[in-house]
Structure 1
Amino acid sequence: MIYITLSIFCSVTVAVLLKLAKRYQISIIQAVTYNYLTALILCFLFFKPDVSVITPAAPWPIYISLAVLLPSIFLFLAASVKNLGIVKTDIAQRLSLFIPILAAYFIFKEDFNNLKFIGLAVGFVAILLTFIRKNDKQSESNKWIYPVFVFVGFGVIDVLFKQIALHKELPYTTSLFTVFCLAFLVSLIIVIVMVLVKKIKLQLVNLICGIILGLFNFGNILFYLKAHQALAKNPSTVFAAMNLGVIVVGSLIGILIFKEKLSRLNYAGIVLALAAVILITLSQIYAV
């Protein structure tokens, strides 16, 4: 369980760093660029990918899609944490698992049992309750769009990574290295354009934040993979512990440390989100 605990810690720390970004005037896109450079280097050192096996036959459309989506979703993640807090953003990210599950049903024609259907229904209600806001101002009500993008974005990214995993001709870690490399290049192009066109300055604080962000971002991936290796016969345990852990720890930090205000309906949404993850996990265990 040590790997799961470390993965949860790294995942929640990323959200905390994004929460603190505004306070220290961090440029998110610059930090994200350095983040992918750091993750790229760590991926090379830890996984030692064999880049020679990357050929034109590799799933390049998926690689390129991920290269664009990953830095983009980081920006929406940061905006969601900034505007709606860690609690709601973490729930949106974790409940994004519904998208690959729905893809499995409608696209890959997998059989679903009643527990999974119930879990999806509960999760849908959880999303609605979690994002309800008392403030009806137009500027405030529009902020729900950020966690929606987080929800959809992470769900699509999960589906694309699963597609890469099915590409048996290439090791998964080599594909991961390729995606990080392309994501860094996309982020770098955006930063260069901003520097040349908008005259944005490169600052040392963004480099430092980006490196720290990259360490925890990569740590989340590394420990999650190691948890699956250590508990190879119990993948549902890893799945449940990771998702439940992030929702619980993220909620506690958001409420206790950052004093994020939630309504009773929001709290009900958190409880239902936990219930949804448990139901979906049980549906995997008891799948026929």
Structure 2
Amino acid sequence: MNFLLMAIAASVLVSVFLKLARRADLDIAQAILVNYATALVLCLWFLRPDFSAEVLRGADFWQMGAPVFLLLGVLLPSVFVIMAKAVAVVGIAKSDAAQRLALFLPVIAAFVLFGEVLTASKAVGIALAFVALLCLVTKPNAKPSTKLANAANTNNSLAAHSSAQPKTTTKTTALLLFGVWVGYGVIDILFKQMSKLGSAFSVTLFISFALALVLMAGYLLAKRTVWHDASLAGGVLLGALNFANILFYIRAHQVLSDDPTLVFVGMNIGVLTLGAFVGVAVFGERLGRLAWLGLVLGVAAIFCLFWGGF
């Protein structure tokens, strides 16, 4: 559980950074570009990827690792762009709900793809988790806490920086929210799959960051971005926090390999819970009764899932 707790803490720190970065008028898109470059350096420094022929020619790398790094490398920057567009078109609340409810996909994958056994306690925990999420993402009066609680993945928080756009068709709105929902759900599943790669894990993570860096750079260059030194510098801190978030999240999956739902649900509920408390204590935000109920149910859900694994 220690790795999961550290992943939650790192994710919430990412949100705190992004909240302060917006106040400082930093360009978040530029920060995320440097974030990937920083993650590459940290990956080399701490994980020391093994680029030996033995690993690169191994079945784990090509049969399991290659699909993971190709999908992650494309999805990490792409979902950022989709989320930004969704926030601009339908608002933060609905986009946030779509991202959080993406938890449905990795939970299903835990039993269908990863062979987890469904017990009565886990079933209750999963049910409580989704009720808690509904309580937490339902915000009758839009409050600033939305931004801080929006942390299980860095890219969701980055999207809140987007400016408003004109209304679009219902079909476009549905496609955007569907893209957010599928994108974040698949990313969670891919991180779980990466945790199973053994010696190929660090190489796969490194290539994922490298591909995301190239695609994000291409996106910003295509937009003819005017570079901002402070934004680029801020990306170094963002990258350190995001690397810690991803690394500890994958380590949690490795340690709790037989209980992926505990990691999936624990990360989502944990980030929302800690983020909400930080919002109240540090930024003076307020939570409604429904949100407090969601926090209580979320803690109960994690307890049921943890207990159900024994």
Q: TM-score band, normalised by the shorter chain? A: 0.7 to 0.9
Aligned residue in 1 for 2:139: 133
The verdict on how the C-alpha distance between 1:233 and 1:109 changes in structure 2, with shifts beyond 3 A counting, is closer
Matched-pair identity in %: 36
Q: 2: distance between equivalents of 1:165 and 1:233?
A: 8
- Pairing 1:51-200 to 2, within 5 Å after superposition: 51-52=51-52, 53-54=55-56, 57-58=62-63, 59-74=65-80, 76=83, 83=92, 97-108=103-114, 110-135=116-141, 152-167=182-197, 171-195=200-224, 200=225
> Any conservation in 2 of the 1:116–1:283 contact (CA below 8 Å)?
yes
1:54 positional shift:
3.3
Could you say if the C-alpha distance between residues 98 and 21 of structure 1 is closer, same or farther in structure 2, counting changes exceeding 3 Å? same
- Look up the match of 1:220: 245
Which deviates more from structure 2 when the two are superposed, residues 202-211 or residues 243-252?
243-252
- Equivalents in 2 of 1:113, 1:77: separation in Å? 38
Structure 1 segments unaligned to the other structure (5+ residues): none
Shift of 1:246: 3.6
TM-score by length of 2: 0.70
- Cα RMSD over matched residues? 4.0
Query: SS at the partner of 2:20?
Result: helix
Q: Secondary structure at the match of 2:23?
A: coil
Q: Alpha-carbon deviations, 1:89-135, whole Å to 9, x = none?
A: 69x65x75553221122445543111111111111211221122224
State the alpha-carbon separation in 2 of the partners of residues 201 and 180 from structure 1: 23
- Tell me, yes or no, if the aligned pair for 1:18 and 1:78 is still in contact at 8 Å: no
What's the counterpart of residue 50 of structure 1?
Answer: 50
Which residue of structure 1 aligns with residue 155 of structure 2? Answer: none
Displacement of 1:258 in angstroms is 2.2
1:268 maps onto 2:270 in alignment = no
Structure 1 residue 72, shift from structure 2 partner: 3.7
1:43 to partner: Cα distance? 0.2
Deviates more, 1:59-68 or 1:14-23: 59-68
Aligned residue type for 1:249 = L
In structure 2, C-alpha distance between the alignment counterparts of 1:162 and 1:18, rounded to whole Å:
26
Match of 1:18 in 2: 18
* Alignment length (residue pairs): 270
Matched, 1:250 2:275: yes
Partners of 1:184 and 1:233 lie apart in 2 by 29
Residues 260 and 151 of structure 1: is their aligned pair in 2 closer, same or farther, counting only changes over 3 Å?
farther
Residue 304 (structure 2) pairs with residue 279 (structure 1)? yes
